[in-house]
Amino acid sequence: MKIIVGLGNPGREYVNHKHNVGFWVVDLMAKQNHWEWEEKKRRLQAWGSLDDEECWLVKPDTYMNLSGQAVQAFLKKKNGLEKDLIVFHDDMDLELGKIRWAFGSGHGGHNGVRSIIDTLGTKDFHRIRLGIGRPEHGKDPADYVLQPFKGKDLEVVETMIDRAVQSIPDFLKHGLQWVQNKYH
């Protein structure tokens, strides 16, 4: 079983924000596989199978800084293991449109990932950083992540989201090092 979590903030006012690209990945994956979202306490979830691997998609409904609560509750409910957790999230330290897979890395200043690490008491899970680029000098990073993408940046991000979704079955078939070599 794999538990694929997209990080973001719930609510219509946040849908197109940079901070929600993790949600975009799991939304596209659900759409492409015709998996239906169902609302549960502290999360939305969908289920399906990829290459004979049971996969759960999860969108925490706890806001970014409390993502760990929803992830921990889901793992407990499904008897899931941290090593089977795959978390997609935005990353300002990564160039716009870049994807980076890792296992066991720190939070890198991302509050949603920090919440998961602190709540689970481990960093031994897969993280996929989705590059959103840095704000212009002097701009507040907190304001930057709560803004939508515009123009050509949106096209770059949509391509990144497509590649991120493509990387999941590749990871299931070939493993971490293979996807790092192909998608980095």
Q: Does the annotation mark 19 as catalytic?
A: yes
Q: Collapse the DSSP code of 181 into the 3-class scheme (helix H, G, I; strand E, B; otherwise coil) and give the result.
A: helix
Choosing from 19, 89, 110, 126, which is the catalytic residue?
19
**Six-digit token pair at 112?**
């949603």
Torsion of CA 95, 98, 101, 107, to 10 degrees: 30
Q: Collapse the DSSP code of 180 into the 3-class scheme (helix H, G, I; strand E, B; otherwise coil) and give the result.
A: helix
Amino acid identity for residue 163 in this structure: R
- DSSP structural state of residue 49: E
**Six-digit token pair at 42?**
């502290």
Q: Would you say 154 and 160 are in contact if contact means Cβ atoms under 8 Å apart?
A: no
CA gap 4, 30 in Å, rounded: 11
Q: Would you say 46 and 56 are in contact if contact means Cβ atoms under 8 Å apart?
A: yes
- Give the catalytic positions in this structure: 19
